Chain A
């Protein structure tokens, strides 16, 4: 099971806050973007074109990161904390 989270503006683009997918093996970020594209083509495009940052288990990741069963993947738009 992989938990996928979307934050801020990406919740609107993905039309969801969270998605859980079942996997039998580890998957690549490309494979994950294909899965997401099936329900949200625009979000898949954002991932492929690297318009979003990615974290895996609360650490920053990139397109080469392999995702394992039990991981939590989050897609993060540019940060804007502070004042």
Chain B
């Protein structure tokens, strides 16, 4: 598990600061004119059931590799300057941060598109799994919109 804060792709147990992560990305280039972020957080209601806790598991090394592939493809295909992707694992309470994507570019348009593409691609290709705890027990989530 990567916990170094200088890496632009991280999977970590601990929480992250959205402000700090944006500040890190702002320092990447003086040509940044637009920043788009996606922050995913723990939702209480899922399929009509109240969730009391979430728990994320990943395939170490492969998950980081996939996130780096997403980052590099976003830069290449959408013309953004850079991107960071941070995903938490382990137990996560309702309302807590789960995932953060920060896309920085010269203009807003490419950062919006890259950010939306990156979260969809993360869900599709990255070996990370979510387990939800409800009053009736625990279940591994098999599909997420």
5 smallest beta-carbon distances between A and B, as pairs: A83-B40, A81-B128, A8-B129, A58-B62, A9-B140
B57: which A residues are within 8 A, CB to CB?
Answer: 7-8
Cβ of B81 under 8 Å from chain A: no
Question: Secondary structure at chain A's binding surface: helix, strand, loop or mixed?
Answer: loop
Number of interchain pairs (Cβ within 8 Å):
72
Binary flags per residue of A63-83, CB closer than 8 Å to B gives 1, else 0: 000000000001011111111
Chain B: how many interface residues by the 8 Å CB criterion?
31
A43 → chain B closest CB, angstroms: 15
Given known contacts A8-B129, A8-B140, A81-B130, A58 and B61 CB-to-CB distance under 8 angstroms = yes
Instruction: A69 to B98: give the CA distance in the assembly, Å.
Output: 37
Residues of B within 8 A of A81 (CB): 56, 58, 63, 87, 99, 122-123, 126-130, 144
User: Is there a chain A Cβ closer than 8 Å to B5's Cβ?
Assistant: no
The answer to whether residues A77 and B40 also contact, given A5-B59, A58-B65, A82-B122 and a CB cut-off of 8 A, is: no
Q: Is B79 at the interface (CB under 8 A from chain A)?
A: no
Say if the beta carbon of A33 comes within 8 Å of chain B. no
A40 CB within 8 Å of chain B: no
